[in-house]
A and B are shown apart, each in its own frame.
Chain A
Amino acid sequence: MNALEIDTVWKYFGDYPALRDVGFNVEAGSVVALLGRNGAGKTTLLRILAGLSKPSKGSVKIHGSEVREEPTRRRIGVLGHGISLYDELTATENLVLFANLYGLKDSEKRAHQWLERTGLERVRDGLVREFSRGMRQRLAVARTFIHDPEVLLFDEPFTSLDDRAIAVLQSLIADAQKRGCTIVMSTHQLREAIELATHVVLIRKGQFAYAGERRQEMLDDPTWLYRTYEGDGAA
């Protein structure tokens, strides 16, 4: 069974087709780099994969089940543009909240483990609104991983991260890969994405200009994909 099945998906916003007849299957354990210019449709696709938006036509399945089904959502971890944390709650309270929502036992213990892993144990009782940007993002990473998801969806995860947060996230992604998780990551960091990826999808104006395995040409020259499928060298 494929981890992700995207089948003839269209998404309209009013009359505008943000996604046009896109389809792709992702095997379990794959890392998919979702590339494309701003406005190409990456975030729209990721939101549909996360169950945050419904396709206008077509379907998306994760491990053979509809995305909006509760058991499916337990298996997904999402790190979007926003940190998805409550400023008025402490770091521990935020993680315990999400651990409880995901039905985890020992939610406090899990929260403390993840605070330690992301270097936030010392500020566990601090309100998130008092955190620096880097601290907030490390906490967001902890929130994403706390329930040990099998499918990870990242929307430009490295954007605006400080060095420490990048190191934490890279380490967690590497661990997730070893565990056989399926990862879909949209990013503008071409070289890092292609080195990490097993598959690459290039979205251009709502359509898949390329969707397949990573090729040697991409590793040799990350801009090859854009030059070949978008006709210019600028990424």
Chain B
Amino acid sequence: MFLRQCLTVAAKDLRAEWRTKEALNASLAFSTVILVLFSFALDPNPEMMQEFSGGLLWLVFLFAGALVLNRSFAREMQNDCLDALLASPVPVSGLFLGKALANYALLMTLELICLAEFGVLFNVRWLGNIGALLIVMALGTWALTVVGTIFSALTVNLRLREVMLPVLVYPMMVPPMMAAMILTTSLLNGDPIGPGNILWVRVLAGFDVIFTLLGVAFIDTVLVG
């Protein structure tokens, strides 16, 4: 029943987003602009890309991802839909996980498209370690999703939520972003995940588990009080 309710909430969000494409269009446009501007501003050569390819890619994911995450609970404020959801028998943790699943699907879609654009604009070959790269993206994106979803709920009633969400999310994301950036740079340089960098995978996985549990534990206090 809990899983069914989570999936019902996730399906609702994805269907609504598919009909309007508000968040996806905005974030895709924004990420494309950032990548193009970076390619002009930095004019990177292969040596430069070996240093900061992962950092650049995850910066784009973070900035564009905020546009998706901002819409997450904001869409519930229209017509007081959040009240109906909270009054229903769905556990608030189920509401949180359902929204996180929808956000995750949207963020992964955005990132896969960005990855393709990144490869073209910066002449980076990312197919070599694609399996490991997808695992790092999956873990890093879940970290962004859970932190972004909980803070989307926290800032939903604020007038300046579009500003406050990134201000709150980005500092929290420093540990997983460091891990994701370092791992991604290694993988894009052709280095596999091994004893030298497995620690960062553990950092990502640990962050995901801890913040998922924290999100589930505190969402009721955030939304109901």
- List the interface of chain A (C-beta within 8 A of B): 47, 50-54, 68, 70-71, 73-74, 76, 78, 80-89, 93, 97-98, 100-103, 127, 143
Contact = CB atoms under 8 A, between A and B. Distances in A.
Contacts of B87: 50-52, 73, 76, 78
Interface in B16-35: 16, 19-20
B12 interface: yes
Contacts of B1: 103
B86 interface: yes
B224 interface: yes
B85 interface: yes
B8 interface: yes
A98 B89 contact: no
A50 B88 CA distance: 9
27 contacts: A47-B83, A50-B83, A51-B86, A51-B87, A51-B224, A52-B83, A52-B86, A68-B224, A71-B89, A73-B89, A78-B84, A82-B81, A84-B83, A84-B84, A85-B79, A85-B81, A86-B16, A89-B12, A89-B16, A98-B88, A101-B85, A101-B88, A101-B89, A102-B88, A102-B89, A127-B19, A143-B84
Interface string B114-144: 0000000000000000000000000000000
A98 B15 contact: no
Contacts of B5: 100-101
B4 interface: yes
Contacts of B15: 88-89, 93
Interface string B69-96: 0000001001111011111111100000
A70 B4 CA distance: 15
Contacts of A51: 86-87, 224
Interface of B: 1, 4-5, 8-9, 12, 15-16, 19-20, 75, 78-81, 83-91, 220, 224-225
Nearest to A127: B19
A127 B75 CA distance: 16
A54 B79 contact: no
B91 A54 contact: no
A87 B89 contact: no
Contact of B8 (A84, A86, A97): A97
A113 B23 CA distance: 34
Nearest to A51: B87
Contacts of A50: 83, 87
Contacts of B225: 53-54
A76 B4 CA distance: 21
Given A52-B83, A101-B88, 4 more contacts: A54-B225, A86-B79, A87-B78, A93-B15
A17 to B, nearest CB: 16
A100 B4 contact: yes
Counting chain B CB atoms within 10 Å of each CB, the highest count among A83, A84, A103, A143 belongs to: A84
B89 A86 contact: no
Contacts of A88: 15-16, 19-20
Interface pairs A-B: 7 shortest CB-CB? A82-B80, A84-B84, A88-B16, A88-B19, A101-B88, A73-B89, A78-B87
Contacts of A85: 79, 81, 84
A104 to B, nearest CB: 11
A16 to B, nearest CB: 15
A50 B87 CA distance: 6
Contacts of A76: 87
Contact of A74 (B8, B12, B80, B89): B89
Counting chain A CB atoms within 10 Å of each CB, the highest count among B5, B75, B80, B91 belongs to: B80
B84 A98 contact: yes
Given A68-B224, A103-B89, A80 B79 contact: no
Nearest to A71: B89
A80 B83 contact: yes
Counting chain A CB atoms within 10 Å of each CB, the highest count among B16, B19, B84 belongs to: B84
